[in-house]
Amino acid sequence: MTGHTLIAALYVFALAAFLGYQVISRVPPLLHTPLMSATNAISGISLVGSIVTAGASYNTVSTILGFIAVVCSTTNVVGGFVITDRMLKMFKRKEIAKKE
């Protein structure tokens, strides 16, 4: 990574940090658990890196490690979204919950 690319990357990092702070601090405690599972799913974005590693046929070790990484990341992505969905479905308003 050249110095130029590093600066660009740091810039992205700083922007993401600012954005992250703004967004996350607005999440009410009620939604903290779905937040955790959602960010877990998002961290499965490391799937992106794993895919390249697994598919580029660099060498056997890399491919195997990449394969394991793909399995782990995919589990996170799929599982994370499914669970977050389940949780969010459960949060109902009083009017809908009470039918009597």
Partner 1 sequence: MSHPETAKRGMHLAEFGMLMAIIGTLLHHEIVTYTWILAGLAVGSVVGLAMGLWVPMTAMPQRTALSHAFGAFAAALVGISEYFRHGGHLGKIEMSALGFEVMFGSLTTTGSLLAFAKLQGLVRGTPMTYRGQNIFNMGLLGVTVVIFIYLIFVPGSMPLFFTMAGLAFIFGILLVMPIGSADMPVVMSLLNSYAGLASAATGFVLSNNVLIIAGTLDGFSGFILSILMCRAMNRSLTNVLFGAFGSAATAEGGADHQGSMREVGLEDIATQLAYANKVVFVPGYGLATAQAQHAVRELADALEKRGVTVKYGIHPVAGRMPGHMNVLLAEANVPYSSLYELEQINPEFPTTDVSVVIGANDVVNPDARDNPTSPIAGMPILEVDRSKSVVVLKRGQGRGFSGLENPLFFKPVTGMLYGDAKDTLTRLVQAVQHA
Site string for partner 1, 46-65 (x = CB under 8 A): xxxxxxxxxxxxxx-xxx-x
How many other CB atoms sit within 10 Å of the CB of residue 30? 9
What b/e string do you get for 47-84 counting C-beta neighbours within 10 Å, with b at 16 or more?
A: beebeebbeeeeeeeeeeebeebbeebeebbeebbebb
Does position 97 interact with partner 1 (CB under 8 A)? The reply is yes
Does position 7 interact with partner 1 (CB under 8 A)? The reply is no
Does position 94 interact with partner 1 (CB under 8 A)? The reply is yes
Stretch 10-49 residues interacting with partner 1 (CB under 8 A): 12-13, 15-17, 19-21, 23-49
- DSSP conformation class of 19: H
Q: What's the closest the beta carbon of residue 66 comes to partner 1, in angstroms? A: 6
